[in-house]
């Protein structure tokens, strides 16, 4: 019987992957741009430097608040409509942010950042969209390839910051104008996306699949969400403080841009092999490896504040995030049915970005307010990683020790 089953063709999935790779590269360039300058601009606009990283937190908060409604929107209207909507949100956020810079308004700048979170939330769904039309064998590779599209954004974004940050009288205004252009031009890519809309459920038919509460009780799903949240939150915790730490330790904005560029390259470069490594060694092993590399990143950062320490720590941070986050995403994708994706993907990203919001806000507090200088603040940021790494590692061990169900 099984020999008569036609093989699954991944031709459509491969085409969609290329579209999403391009979107990750072009539209995704805005994220390293804003993360580099968000805290620095916040320092000049905020009345209290303890709130310098609030614009970054607002981006992540916007992403968290829109994750669940965006998942429902895509479940009803499809991925293409959802991604056009989120790119529009990114353009609107950059427009409001630019107005905030011109008027010297920290409030407007933060409102723009909140709207930018709409795009960030949409970018988080690229990885799920890659898996929508892929076979089970191709899913981890499709997710990895789309994440690898961030390689170009890692180069383009920071270089655009270096070219645009001081091109106008108002610092960083040119960068926000470039972000507007990226969103407006990049949304045209989604015309080539070919992902069928999920069939509309019959109103009289019982709901298909598990409720959110039932899925959250699934051990594999719960651990996947914990590991994704910890991986992403700790990466954000450290990356948000990096430009402030680099400049605070006597280096330039250009140095900060180059270090963040190396970090973002490290976030996405392993994606070419992460899917293969998951297929070879298992998803739990790759997630555990990612957590171990995140711990190594913190250890290197605590050794000193020379440029080489920043580079090595941020490169390790990127690699650790890649293994931990892609592994956790694959674990989640393997443990829910297509009819459940709108519910679980939305709640997953709401939890993940909720953790990232807290991390980004805590980053500025630890960096600027809990220590007498930039070096002490940087050490506190990296020490804060430890308890959360223990939490995620313990969850993985607990899952591995559970008896296999038939």
Helix (H, G, I), strand (E, B) or coil at 206: coil
Local mean pLDDT, 10-residue blocks, the chain (406 residues)? 44 88 91 85 82 86 86 87 95 95 94 94 86 79 79 84 85 92 93 80 58 79 93 92 89 86 87 85 93 96 93 96 91 77 76 84 82 87 94 92 65
Alpha helices, H only, 302-373:
307-333, 341-368
Q: Which two tokens stand for residue 376?
A: 């002490």
- How crowded is residue 365: how many other Cβ atoms within 10 Å of its Cβ? 16
Please state, in angstroms and rounded to a whole number, the distance separating the CA atoms of residues 233 and 317.
11
Evaluate whether residue 372 is within a structural domain.
yes
Q: Are 270 and 392 in contact (CB under 8 A)?
A: no
249 found inside a domain: yes
Within-domain flag for 205: no
- Tokens in use for 21? 């790779």
Q: How far is CA 263 from the centre of its chain?
A: 13
Predicted local confidence at residue 285, as pLDDT: 94
- Reduced to 3 states, what is the DSSP secondary structure of residue 63? helix
- Does 154 reside within a domain? yes
CATH assignment of the domain containing 46 = 1.20.1250.20
Q: What single string gives the DSSP state of each residue in 214-250?
A: HHHTSHHHHHHHHHHHHHHHHHHHHHHHHHHHHHHTT
The whole-number pLDDT of residue 405 equals 54
Domain span holding position 314 = 11-194+211-401
Residue 199 lies in a domain: no
- The H or E element spanning position 17 is helix 11-26
Closest among 406, 360, 390, 364 to 116, alpha carbons compared: 360
Is residue 203 in some structural domain?
Answer: no
Task: Give the CA count within 13 Å in the CB-facing half-sphere of 316.
Answer: 19
Give, rounded to a whole angstrom, the gap between the first and last alpha carbons of the chain: 23
Contacts of residue 6, defined as CB under 8 A and 6 or more positions apart, other chains included, come to none
Instruction: Count up the domains in the chain and report the number.
Output: 1
pLDDT score of 14:
86
For the segment 45-64, what is each residue's pLDDT rounded down to a tens digit?
Answer: 888 877 888 898 899 889 88
Q: Are 31 and 156 in contact (CB under 8 A)?
A: no
Query: What local confidence, expressed as pLDDT, does residue 107 receive?
Result: 94
Q: pLDDT tens-digit profile of 107-149?
A: 999 999 999 999 988 988 887 888 887 877 787 778 778 877 7
- From CA 406, how far away is CA 402, in angstroms rounded? 12
Residues 6+ apart with CB under 8 A from 260: 32, 35, 36, 158, 239, 242, 243, 314
| 220 CA to centre of own chain | 21
Q: Flag whether 97 is in a domain.
A: yes
| Tokens of residue 176, six digits | 């926000």
The verdict on residue 1 lying in a domain is: no
């Amino acid at each position: 019987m099984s020999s008569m089953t036609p093989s699954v063709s991944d031709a459509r999935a491969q085409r969609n992957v290329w579209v999403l790779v391009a979107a990750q590269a072009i539209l995704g360039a805005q994220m390293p741009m804003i993360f580099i300058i968000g805290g620095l601009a916040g320092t000049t606009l905020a009345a209290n430097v303890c709130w310098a990283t609030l614009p970054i937190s607002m981006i992540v908060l916007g992403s968290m608040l829109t994750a669940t409604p965006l998942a429902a929107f895509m479940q009803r209207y499809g991925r293409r409509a959802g991604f056009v909507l989120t790119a529009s949100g990114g353009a609107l956020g950059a427009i409001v942010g630019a107005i905030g810079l011109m008027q010297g308004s920290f409030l407007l700048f933060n409102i723009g950042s909140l709207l930018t979170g709409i795009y960030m939330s949409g970018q988080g769904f690229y990885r799920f969209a890659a898996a929508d039309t892929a076979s089970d064998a191709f899913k981890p590779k499709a997710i990895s390839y789309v994440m690898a599209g961030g390689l170009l954004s890692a180069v383009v974004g920071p270089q655009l910051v270096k070219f645009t940050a001081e091109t106008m009288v108002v610092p960083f205004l040119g960068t926000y104008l470039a972000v507007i252009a990226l969103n407006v031009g990049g949304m045209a890519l989604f015309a080539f996306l070919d992902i069928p809309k999920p069939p509309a459920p019959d109103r009289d038919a019982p709901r298909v699949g598990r409720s959110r509460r039932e899925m959250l009780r699934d051990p594999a799903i719960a651990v996947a969400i914990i590991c994704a949240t910890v991986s992403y939150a700790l990466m954000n915790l450290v990356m948000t403080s990096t430009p402030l730490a680099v400049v605070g330790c006597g280096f330039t904005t250009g140095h900060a841009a180059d270090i963040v560029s190396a970090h973002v390259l490290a976030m996405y470069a392993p994606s070419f092999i992460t899917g293969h490594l998951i297929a070879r060694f298992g998803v739990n092993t790759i997630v555990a490896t990612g957590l171990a590399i995140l711990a190594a990143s913190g250890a290197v950062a605590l050794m000193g504040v020379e440029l080489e320490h920043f580079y090595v720590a941020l490169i390790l941070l990127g690699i650790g995030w890649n293994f931990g986050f892609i592994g956790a995403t694959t674990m989640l994708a393997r443990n829910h049915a297509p009819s459940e994706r709108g519910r679980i993907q939305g709640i997953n990203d709401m939890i993940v970005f909720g953790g990232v919001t807290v991390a980004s806000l805590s980053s500025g507090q630890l960096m600027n307010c809990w220590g007498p200088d930039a070096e002490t603040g940087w050490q506190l940021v990296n020490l804060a990683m430890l308890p959360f790494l223990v939490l995620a590692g313990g969850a993985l061990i607990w899952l591995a020790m559970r008896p296999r169900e038939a």
